[in-house]
Amino acid sequence: MYKLAVLDIDGTLIDNKGNISKKTIQTITDVNQSGGVVTICTGRNIRKALPVAKKAGIKVAMGCIDGAVLIQPETGDIIEGLELSQYEIDLILSSVQGKEVFAEINTGYIYHKFAENEKDYHYDIFNKRTFLGRIKSYIGGVRYMKSWQQLRVISSPIYQIVIAGKADVILEIKNTIQQGDCSRIDIREHLWDKYLFINRKGGNKASGVKRLCNHFGVTMEETIAIGDDRNDIDMLEEAGLGIAMGNAHKDIKKIADYVTTSNEENGVALALEKFLLKK
């Protein structure tokens, strides 16, 4: 019997316009009223995830930044955070400085971004660098830095650093980082081509879901995970039931236990009805 459902946000809980359907909101309410628990584990940071949780009516602990941070959505308080140490931050940025790359530092509420060359900002796929786009980004918690030095003096906690560039440059950076003491960090290069996602060990969705299970007092076997992208694979594999969205990449569908309909067709609601409400 499944007791907990953990949802990805983008491409899963929300549709392609960023909305949550009335059916999905009502189904989450029905699950909660039946004694089950529905929550989120997302790649988004806290600031970007909280409005979605509020719309969905999710008031219990949830995971952000691929599970690196667990928060209480009603207060925004951090329950648990896997921070990078100052040594690890310096090691990563020293390996990157001077290279033709795009860098992003995630402090939980703010994305700090920098590229030495304007052309490398094309890796910043969520902002087309228009005037209006930059205003929206600023309101949404994005800060564009003017130098590597500005990146180096960002106040901790820092939960994730993302580096993007040409494949050979990214490989060189990864190798340089690994020459230092990186025993406490994970460097994930399989999520997006030409990107490195760097977190403390345990900063992935499977580990985030496990910590949510401990928080709620349920087992992984009693947990459903629903997602659509590569950063969802580990939680779909380790949850009791891994569900891929109909719009998911074929690699995600291949490892899933079940495939629901797309995020445009109430896929989350239908999966919750089938496996938690038994409709």
What mean pLDDT comes out for the span 102-113? Answer: 94
Boundary of a domain, candidates 171, 200, 229: 200
Residues 270, 242 share a domain: yes
Strands 160-165 and 258-259: unpaired
Question: Distance between CA atoms of 211 and 183, rounded to whole angstroms?
Answer: 21
What is the Cα 234 distance to its own chain's centre? 12
| pLDDT reported for residue 203 | 86
H-helix or E-strand containing 244?
A: strand 241-244
Residues 115, 36 share a domain: no
What mean pLDDT comes out for the span 189-197? Answer: 86
In the numeric block, the tokens 């946000």 are attached to 9
Single out the residue of 113, 131, 133, 132 nearest to residue 123, CA to CA: 113
* Structural domains of the chain, count: 2
Boundary of a domain, candidates 159, 175, 200: 200
Single out the residue of 219, 230, 223 nearest to residue 255, CA to CA: 230
Model-level pTM?
0.92
202 pLDDT band, cuts 50/70/90, is confident
191 pLDDT band, cuts 50/70/90, is confident
For the ranges 19-23, 105-109, 178-182, 230-234, the lowest mean pLDDT is seen at 178-182
Boundary of a domain, candidates 135, 167, 200: 200
Residues 178, 111 share a domain: yes
- The pair of structure tokens assigned to 261 is 């309909």
CB atoms within 10 A of CB 22: 10
| pLDDT reported for residue 232 | 95
pLDDT digits (tens, 9 = 90+) for 66-92: 999 999 999 889 999 999 999 999 999
- Contact by Cβ (8 Å): 256, 241: no
Q: CATH code at 140?
A: 3.30.1240.10
Q: Which domain holds residue 103?
A: 86-200
Single out the residue of 214, 217, 256 nearest to residue 238, CA to CA: 256
132 pLDDT band, cuts 50/70/90, is confident
- The overall average pLDDT reported for the chain is 93
What mean pLDDT comes out for the span 89-111? Answer: 93
Residue 112's region, left for phi above 0, alpha for psi from -120 to 50, else beta, is: beta
Q: CATH code at 251?
A: 3.40.50.1000
pLDDT digits (tens, 9 = 90+) for 48-69: 999 999 999 999 999 999 999 9
What mean pLDDT comes out for the span 107-118? Answer: 93
Percent residues over pLDDT 90 in the chain: 82
| pLDDT reported for residue 182 | 84
Residues 270, 191 share a domain: no
Residues 98, 122 share a domain: yes
What mean pLDDT comes out for the span 254-262? Answer: 97
